[in-house]
């Protein structure tokens, strides 16, 4: 028996909506990464971008367990001498909560061109409004 490999023209991408309110950040990120990669589909092919488009709502209301809000820090560097910048999760959640979810999901995708392409299928919004009504997205419940 031969292993079936999907072709590019056979890929069918759906639009899915996930409500992040009161869901732990790690649980949400793992489930969304699975949806973005397409591993929930029976015809999963690892070398193709066959995951669905995912819209995450209520990013500002995601649940953070323990003391992550106060103690977790995000590091970045400007490229100049002494240019290391430190941002706490609390500050990032107050200003740009969608960046916290994007960072968590990005860490769970492959570190390749394919992973970067799959990340473009993720849209995160801090509130309940999104402009993707024309795509008729389906609501998905995240298992806790």
pLDDT tens digit sequence for 36-46: 999 999 999 99
Residues 24-71 have pLDDT tens digits of 999 999 999 999 999 999 999 999 999 999 999 999 999 999 999 999
Answer yes or no: is 2 within a domain: no
Q: Is the pLDDT of residue 2 over 90?
A: no
Which of 107, 122, 102 is CA-nearest to residue 52? 122
User: What's the pLDDT at 4?
Assistant: 84
Contact yes or no for 55/130 (Cβ under 8 A):
yes
CA distances from 1 to 4, 7, 136 (A): 9, 18, 38
Q: Is the pTM higher than 0.85?
A: yes
pLDDT confidence tier of residue 1, bands split at 50, 70 and 90: confident
Q: pLDDT value at position 143?
A: 84
Q: Yes or no: say if 20 and 28 are a contact pair by the CB < 8 Å rule.
A: yes
Residue 16 to residue 139: CA distance in whole angstroms: 6
Domain containing residue 122: CATH number: 3.90.1180.10
For 20-31, the DSSP string reads -TT-BHHHHHHH
Question: Is 118 inside any structural domain?
Answer: yes
Cα→Cα distances 138→34, 59, 98, Å: 16, 18, 21
72-125, pLDDT tens digit by residue? 999 999 999 999 999 999 999 999 999 999 999 999 999 999 999 999 999 999
Separation between Cα atoms, residue 129 and residue 57, nearest integer Å: 7
Which value, in Å, is the radius of gyration of the alpha carbons in the chain?
17
Residue 57: C-alpha distances to residues 40, 117, 126, 133 (Å): 21, 21, 6, 13
Per the structure, the complete domain to which residue 49 belongs is given by 14-65+96-128
State the pLDDT confidence band at 9, using cuts at 50, 70 and 90: very high
The verdict on residue 104 lying in a domain is yes
Q: Is residue 34 situated within a structural domain?
A: yes
Q: Determine, yes or no, domain membership for 61.
A: yes
* Within a domain: 138: no
For the chain, what is the mean pLDDT? 95
- State how many domains the chain has: 1
């Amino acid at each position: 028996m031969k292993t079936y490999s999907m072709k590019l023209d056979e890929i069918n991408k759906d639009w899915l909506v996930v409500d992040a309110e009161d869901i732990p950040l790690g649980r949400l990120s793992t489930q969304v990464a699975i949806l973005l990669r397409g591993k929930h589909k029976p015809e999963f092919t690892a070398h193709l971008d066959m995951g669905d488009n995912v819209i995450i709502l209520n990013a500002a209301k995601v649940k953070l367990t323990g003391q992550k809000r106060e103690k977790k820090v995000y590091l970045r560097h400007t490229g100049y001498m002494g240019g290391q910048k430190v941002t706490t999760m609390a500050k990032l959640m107050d200003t740009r909560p969608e960046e916290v979810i994007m960072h968590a999901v990005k860490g769970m995708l492959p570190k390749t061109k394919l992973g970067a392409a799959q990340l473009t299928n993720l849209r995160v919004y801090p509130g309940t409004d999104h402009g993707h009504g024309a795509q008729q997205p389906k609501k998905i419940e995240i298992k806790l």
